[in-house]
Structure 1
């Protein structure tokens, strides 16, 4: 854990703002992570405005999973590594390596057996945009400006409010409110020629947009086939 490494690199109390800056997280996230470590048994002295220091001798306990849970984690990380964009795929590999490092030996052996496989996508499409930028915009509820080509190749500039990403076989679909059409539309990332995150937040909450979208999806499906 990066926070543990930061604590161990300081012999004196370190300010929460400094820790948050070094870890590139919000101060709220830092406080949550400190609370999680304390719940695991770490003795962390200090408080906001004073600084924090980890008492020596604490080790993270081994992470316990059932064998089925380990298989699920391995399969999930393999799927993400193959189907997702490059930053997400790399994050999946690192997360699995971090989990493996703190698993008991018998579970580590199961991970290293490598008897699960995700076959490469047969219909993978190339993308010219950074999908991680879309994920950031969704989390921050920021508007995004895109250049988008339709099925006929006609290009238009749109300002959208992205709120959901669907990972499909070989591609990704963005659900967003389109300011030009004044309704919820779906955009294929392989048809986006460019995108830029805007500073402006969209005026509705992501949760409300997702709720409206799901209601529309349910209403459009034939009766008896709703999901």
Structure 2
């Protein structure tokens, strides 16, 4: 077990205990030496975690202490950071900026040993970033999905045909090279996929489909296993 994960586990053990816990008991649970626990307790106390006690007697966590809202095991935090790196390959500029803010929150919330390990980890997302679509505001699309708001769209198909239609947006798919909007097309009266780089214009409307987004998403998901007509 890495030191950062072990520090987290020690806090959890002390937090859940209603009595003094000895270093030997903690060492047995974490399968490390008692000397390692002594060093870890000293490190936590240096980080101002309110652990009281001493060698030979045991330790207790002073009531009222809470872990930071963002506390992850090493692999969990690596998964999040790699996901944020993959997000940076998309053409969604607002989500890219959000990813940077999330990295900052993780960096400020986790203990120093874990912070060092995470941000020096050799995990990279590679490949050509997807270009931002010229005619589609990705933030508008995500907001319309959340608010169940109909959008008016002018769209150019793969063969160059241009159409205007109302769309009830229900999902976004992020591929490595482009993004796709999934929505109920009012022109075709069916669920359709629209590549965002083929959207020419996108306009919000006052029309809503409140309460129907989940049903449309279920309809879409149920269609995955059906053979094409």
TM-score by length of 2: 0.66
Q: Give structure 2 stretches of 5+ with no counterpart.
A: 1-63
Q: Which runs of 4+ in 1 moved over 4 A?
A: none
Q: 1:177 aligns with which of 167, 171, 184?
A: 184
Q: 1:197 aligns with which of 204, 208, 214?
A: 204
Change (3 A) 1:59 1:101: farther
Say yes or no: does 1:208 pair with 2:218: no
Contact 1:81–1:93 (Cα < 8 Å) also in 2: no
Structure 1 distance, partners of 2:210, 2:80, is 37
Tell me the equivalent position of 2:173. Answer: 166
How far has the Cα of 1:132 moved from its partner? Answer: 1.0
Tell me the equivalent position of 2:144. Answer: 137
Structure 1 distance, partners of 2:151, 2:143, is 10
Structure showing greater Rg: 2
Structure 2 distance, partners of 1:171, 1:59, is 46
Contact 2:74–2:118 (Cα < 8 Å) also in 1: no
Contact 2:91–2:133 (Cα < 8 Å) also in 1: no
Aligned length: 164
Structure 2 distance, partners of 1:67, 1:186, is 38
Tell me the equivalent position of 2:53. Answer: none
Q: 1:92 aligns with which of 99, 108, 118?
A: 99
Q: Deviation per CA, 1:39-79, whole angstroms, max 9, x where unpaired?
A: xxxxxxxxxxxxxxxxxxx9973343211112101101111
Tell me the equivalent position of 2:112. Answer: 105
Q: Which has the higher contact order (CA 8 A, sep 6+)?
A: 2
Say yes or no: does 1:61 pair with 2:67: yes
Structure 1 distance, partners of 2:80, 2:132, is 27
Q: Deviation per CA, 1:117-153, whole angstroms, max 9, x where unpaired?
A: 101337x345112111000000000000111001121
Q: Secondary structure at the match of 1:83?
A: coil
How far has the Cα of 1:83 moved from its partner? Answer: 1.8
Give me the CA root mean square deviation: 2.1
How far has the Cα of 1:178 moved from its partner? Answer: 0.6
Contact 1:85–1:131 (Cα < 8 Å) also in 2: yes
TM-score by length of 1: 0.67
Contact 1:84–1:167 (Cα < 8 Å) also in 2: no
Contact 2:91–2:131 (Cα < 8 Å) also in 1: no
Contact 1:127–1:189 (Cα < 8 Å) also in 2: yes
